[in-house]
Amino acid sequence: MGKLDIIVKTLEDKQAYDIKVIDLENKSSVADYFVLATGNSINQNKALLEYIEENLKKRRI
Protein backbone atom coordinates (compact mmCIF):
# COMPACT_ATOMS: atom_id res chain seq x y z
CA MET A 1 0.00 0.00 0.00
CA GLY A 2 1.44 3.37 -1.02
CA LYS A 3 1.50 6.60 0.95
CA LEU A 4 -1.53 8.03 -0.85
CA ASP A 5 -3.55 4.85 -0.21
CA ILE A 6 -2.63 4.92 3.49
CA ILE A 7 -3.70 8.55 3.81
CA VAL A 8 -7.03 8.04 2.05
CA LYS A 9 -7.78 4.80 3.96
CA THR A 10 -7.00 6.49 7.28
CA LEU A 11 -9.31 9.38 6.44
CA GLU A 12 -12.09 6.95 5.48
CA ASP A 13 -11.57 4.85 8.62
CA LYS A 14 -11.76 7.93 10.84
CA GLN A 15 -14.98 9.16 9.21
CA ALA A 16 -13.68 12.10 7.21
CA TYR A 17 -15.91 12.92 4.27
CA ASP A 18 -15.72 14.73 0.92
CA ILE A 19 -12.26 13.22 0.42
CA LYS A 20 -10.70 14.53 -2.78
CA VAL A 21 -7.31 13.75 -4.27
CA ILE A 22 -5.82 16.20 -6.74
CA ASP A 23 -3.04 14.80 -8.93
CA LEU A 24 -0.11 17.23 -9.10
CA GLU A 25 2.40 14.92 -10.76
CA ASN A 26 4.24 16.76 -13.53
CA LYS A 27 2.56 19.98 -12.34
CA SER A 28 4.42 20.70 -9.11
CA SER A 29 7.94 20.19 -7.84
CA VAL A 30 6.69 20.27 -4.24
CA ALA A 31 4.07 17.50 -4.15
CA ASP A 32 2.64 14.65 -6.22
CA TYR A 33 -0.86 14.84 -4.73
CA PHE A 34 -3.01 17.24 -2.72
CA VAL A 35 -5.51 15.54 -0.43
CA LEU A 36 -8.57 17.39 0.85
CA ALA A 37 -11.01 16.07 3.44
CA THR A 38 -13.72 17.43 5.69
CA GLY A 39 -14.18 16.70 9.38
CA ASN A 40 -17.05 17.61 11.68
CA SER A 41 -15.04 19.88 13.97
CA ILE A 42 -11.64 21.46 14.49
CA ASN A 43 -10.85 18.73 17.01
CA GLN A 44 -11.70 15.99 14.52
CA ASN A 45 -9.56 17.68 11.87
CA LYS A 46 -6.60 17.75 14.27
CA ALA A 47 -7.20 14.09 15.14
CA LEU A 48 -7.33 13.15 11.44
CA LEU A 49 -3.89 14.69 10.95
CA GLU A 50 -2.53 12.85 14.00
CA TYR A 51 -3.93 9.51 12.78
CA ILE A 52 -2.35 10.01 9.36
CA GLU A 53 1.02 10.89 10.90
CA GLU A 54 0.87 7.84 13.21
CA ASN A 55 0.00 5.46 10.36
CA LEU A 56 2.82 6.78 8.18
CA LYS A 57 5.33 6.55 11.05
CA LYS A 58 4.28 2.94 11.76
CA ARG A 59 5.16 2.09 8.18
CA ARG A 60 8.34 4.22 8.27
CA ILE A 61 7.14 6.44 5.46
pLDDT band at 61 (very low <50, low <70, confident <90, very high): confident
The confidence score (pLDDT) of residue 18 equals 98
6 pLDDT above the threshold of 90 = yes
**Torsion angle, CA of 3/9/12/39, rounded to 10 degrees?**
-20
Structural domain boundaries of the chain?
A: 3-59
The pTM for the full model equals 0.86
Give the model's pLDDT for residue 33: 95
Burial of 7 (0-12, 13-18, 19+ CB in 10 A): buried
Positive or negative, the Cα torsion across 7, 5, 23, 25? positive
Q: What is the pLDDT of residues 7-55, one digit of tens each?
A: 999 999 999 999 999 999 989 889 999 999 999 999 999 999 999 999 9
Between CA 4 and CA 40 the distance in angstroms is 22
Which CATH superfamily is 3-59 part of?
Answer: Beta Polymerase, domain 2 (3.30.460.10)
